[in-house]
């Protein structure tokens, strides 16, 4: 992984959209209406950046390429689910990302020195867990989509479709509390706010329902895991290797 | 004579790439839904911004919708032409197939920039135009010829700048083979083209007009739409576009000198 330092640094830079959003929010005093101070909002978006960095998933694209190239066949013979292989890849890359994310945070604090804060160990621990759970939810959703490769061969367009609600509803561009009432009434039942909004609120010290958030995250994992097992089981039966 | 040859080659390109895209018909349907949802999503985001504020950076909600419409059109153009072709450059370089392109008796930049087409991007362009017509209606804009000509000029300049930005970034892979996701960085920067330039702080405004001229791409055509644009801004955009196109050409020829094909 260390071989691809530039690549990973570029991925880290490509995640800076939350900072542009922060700029729009504070520059137009939009946050006054939602009762979040500039300071808390800047912490929120910094945390959203971090959570996004450590929960981003691209297993569909890897799997689609491997499946189109016929590389899945040797993986299937091995006595290990190939998704564990992708899972390990993701974890390894997240660890290599850590220093780059820290550098970006460092620059952020240079420009916004007043927003420096140190979360206590307990909060840090809890938010790491919730970020990991958010990563797990996204990994499961994408793995389910990736398994559709067995039927359609091009699953990445479905993933792009699913990415749209993730982008707009997860809290990456605007905190979920700022959403209008008619969206807030149902959004907490979907997995989206638990992907970025919940861990970011937890880490930045904004108000959030800790127990409710964790239980929803675990509930979604428990719901998605059997779906993945089922679709994987059906898909491998359906699988016909390229050129056979 | 020469032009005719290029036109003929281009129709062949169109034919083959549309034929290959139609192999995946359900994909086109999914892409249509994606384009619609993404437009709804960005209007939703905009409505959050305007929830308790009348204006952002001096733009009303109805006026900001024009920027959204132009962004959608340009994004459609990016998805139709730039994205499929220019991400391919990276692949050509990594796998050494750029040799085959260079050997062809045709301009390599032409070949590499227009070979493929993704028809599902058209849907986004159409959506963008629908929104634009709606904006004309709600903003009570009278259309006349001088306005149309100015709009056409600015939008063509925007397309030129956008193309050159993509082309620059993709060409740098000749030196750094592994930077295929540099286009992803560009994509995330382009994202801010959805919002009026004035809604950003001063330093970011400078950054987005000098270093990466994203500001020019959507804000100036929208200002033309509202009749707010000063003529020096339009002139500036034309100059910037010409400089960008010209240097992208020079840069490509320069970069090719450094191209050492794979295994040689």
pLDDT in tens, A98-146: 888 888 888 888 888 888 888 889 899 999 999 999 999 999 999 999 8
Q: What's the pLDDT score for residue B263? A: 53
Does residue B49 sit at the A interface (CB-CB below 8 Å)? Answer: yes
* pLDDT for B4 beyond 50: yes
Q: Coil, strand, or helix at residue B59?
A: strand
pLDDT given for residue A227 in this prediction: 94
Please indicate whether, in this complex, the C-beta atoms of B41 and A15 are within 8 angstroms of each other.
Answer: no
B96: distance to nearest CA of chain A, Å? 18
3-state secondary structure of A11: helix
Kindly report which listed range (A79-88, A234-243, B99-108, B140-149) carries the lowest average pLDDT score: A234-243
**CB contacts, 8 Å: A4 with chain B:** 178
Size (chain A), residues:
244
Residues of chain B contacting residue A7, judged by C-beta atoms under 8 Å apart: 178-181
**Residues linked to residue B59 through DSSP beta bridges, in sequence order:** B56
Q: Which residues contact A163 (CB under 8 A, 6 or more apart)?
A: none
Task: Name the one residue in this structure whose structure tokens are 């959003």.
Answer: A21
pLDDT recorded at residue A244: 44
- B180 against A68, higher pLDDT: A68
Confidence category of residue B216, pLDDT binned at 50, 70, 90: confident
Residue B224 Cα, gap to closest chain A Cα (Å):
23
Q: Is the pLDDT of residue B51 over 70?
A: yes
Alpha-carbon distance of A35 to B81, in angstroms, equals 44
**Rounded-to-integer distance, Cα B104 and Cα B111, Å:** 9
Q: Give pLDDT, residue B93.
A: 80
Q: How far apart are CA A86 and CA A63, in angstroms?
A: 8
Confidence of residue B262 (pLDDT cuts 50, 70, 90): low
Please check the confidence at residue B157 and state whether its pLDDT lies above 60: yes
Helix/strand/coil (H/E/C) assignment for every residue in B113-124: HHCCCCCHHHHH
Tell me which of B26, B28, B43, B49 to substitute to probe the interface with A (most A C-beta atoms closer than 10 Å): B49
Residue with tokens 């780059």: A100
> Cβ A164–B176 below 8 Å, yes or no?
no
- Average pLDDT per run of 10 along chain A, which is 244 residues long? 66 83 85 80 91 88 81 80 89 86 88 83 92 94 88 79 90 88 89 92 88 94 94 83 54
What whole-number distance in Å separates Cα of residue A221 and Cα of residue A233?
18
B57–A178 C-beta distance less than 8 A:
no
Whether residues B51 and A178 touch (CB distance < 8 A) is answered with yes
Q: CA-to-CA distance for B120 and A11, rounded, in angstroms? A: 26
Domain ranges of chain B: 3-256
Q: Is the pLDDT score of B254 beyond 80?
A: yes
pLDDT at A218: 95
Chain B interface, best mutation among A16, A22, A24, by max B CB count within 10 A: A24
SS3 B241: helix
Write down the pLDDT at residue A126.
93
A·B CB contacts under 8 A:
96
The dihedral sign for the CA sequence A55, A58, A60, A62: negative
**Per-residue pLDDT, B264:** 46
Closest by Cα among B227, B125, B130, B114 to B166: B114
Is the Cβ of A32 closer than 8 Å to some Cβ of chain B?
yes
Q: How confident is the model at residue B69 (pLDDT cuts 50, 70, 90)?
A: very high
The whole-angstrom separation of Cα B180 and Cα B91 is 8
- Which B positions 173-212 lie with beta carbon below 8 A of chain A? 176, 178-182, 184-185, 187-188, 191-192, 195, 199-201, 204
The shortest CB-CB distance from A13 to any of B185, B192, B199 is to: B185
Predicted confidence at residue B72, as pLDDT, reads 92
- Search chain B and give the residue with CA nearest A161: B34
Tell me, what's the pLDDT at B59? 86
Please, what is the Cα angle at A140 between A211 and A233, to 5 degrees? 130
Predicted model pTM: 0.87
Choose from A49, A161, A178 for mutation: most chain B CBs within 10 A.
Answer: A161
Q: How far is A169 from chain B (nearest CA, A)?
A: 9
- Closest CB to A154: pick one of B24, B200, B204: B24
Residue B244 distance to chain A (closest CA, Å)? 23
Kindly state whether B47 is in contact with chain A, defined as any CB-CB distance less than 8 angstroms: yes
Helix (H, G, I), strand (E, B) or coil at A243: coil
DSSP single-letter state for residue B56: B
Which of B37, B53, B191 comes nearest A28 by C-beta? B53
């Amino acid at each position: 992984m260390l071989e691809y330092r530039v690549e990973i640094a570029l991925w880290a830079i490509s995640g800076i959209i939350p900072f542009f959003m922060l700029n729009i929010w504070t520059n137009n005093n939009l946050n006054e209406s939602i009762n979040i101070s500039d300071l808390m909002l800047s912490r929120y978006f910094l945390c959203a950046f971090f959570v996004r960095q450590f929960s981003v998933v691209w297993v569909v694209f890897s799997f689609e390429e491997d499946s189109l190239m016929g590389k899945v066949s040797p993986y299937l013979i091995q006595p290990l689910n190939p998704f564990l292989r992708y899972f390990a890849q993701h974890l390894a890359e997240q660890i290599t990302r850590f220093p780059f994310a820290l550098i970006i945070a460092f620059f952020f604090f240079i420009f916004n020195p007043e927003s420096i804060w140190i979360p206590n160990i307990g909060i840090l621990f809890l938010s790491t867990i919730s970020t990991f759970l958010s990563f797990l939810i996204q990994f499961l959703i994408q793995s389910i989509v990736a398994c559709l490769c067995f039927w359609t061969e091009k699953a990445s367009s479905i993933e792009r479709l699913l990415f749209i609600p993730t982008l707009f509803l997860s809290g990456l561009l605007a905190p979920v509390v700022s959403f209008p009432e008619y969206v807030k009434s149902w959004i907490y039942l979907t997995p989206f706010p638990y992907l970025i909004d919940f861990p970011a609120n937890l880490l930045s010290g904004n108000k959030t329902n800790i127990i409710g958030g964790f239980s929803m995250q675990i509930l979604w994992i428990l719901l998605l895991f059997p779906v993945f097992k089922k679709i994987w089981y059906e898909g491998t039966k359906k699988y016909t290797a390229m050129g056979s | 004579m020469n032009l005719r040859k290029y036109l003929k080659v281009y129709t062949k390109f169109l034919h083959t790439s549309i034929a290959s895209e139609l192999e995946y018909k359900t994909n086109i349907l999914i892409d249509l839904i994606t384009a619609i949802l993404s437009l709804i999503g960005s209007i939703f985001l905009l409505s959050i911004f305007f929830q308790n504020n009348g204006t952002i950076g001096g733009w009303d909600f109805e006026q900001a919708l024009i920027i959204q419409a132009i962004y959608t059109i340009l994004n459609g153009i990016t998805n139709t032409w730039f994205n499929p072709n220019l991400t391919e450059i990276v692949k050509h370089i990594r796998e050494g197939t750029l040799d085959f392109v260079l050997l062809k008796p045709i301009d390599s930049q032409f070949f590499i920039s227009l070979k493929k087409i993704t028809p599902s991007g058209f849907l986004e362009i159409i959506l963008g135009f629908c929104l634009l017509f709606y904006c004309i209606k709600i903003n009570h804009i009278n259309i006349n010829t001088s306005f149309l000509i100015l709009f056409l000029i600015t939008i063509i300049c925007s397309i030129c700048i956008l193309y050159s930005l993509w082309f620059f970034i993709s060409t740098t892979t000749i030196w750094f083979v592994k930077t295929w996701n540099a286009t992803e960085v560009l994509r995330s920067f382009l994202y801010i083209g959805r919002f009026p330039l004035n809604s950003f702080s001063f330093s970011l405004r400078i950054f987005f007009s000098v270093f990466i001229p994203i500001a020019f791409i959507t804000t100036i055509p929208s200002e033309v739409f509202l009749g707010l644009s000063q003529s020096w801004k339009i002139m500036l955009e034309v100059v910037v576009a010409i400089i960008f196109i010209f240097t992208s050409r020079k840069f490509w020829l320069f970069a090719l000198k450094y191209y050492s094909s794979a295994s040689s």
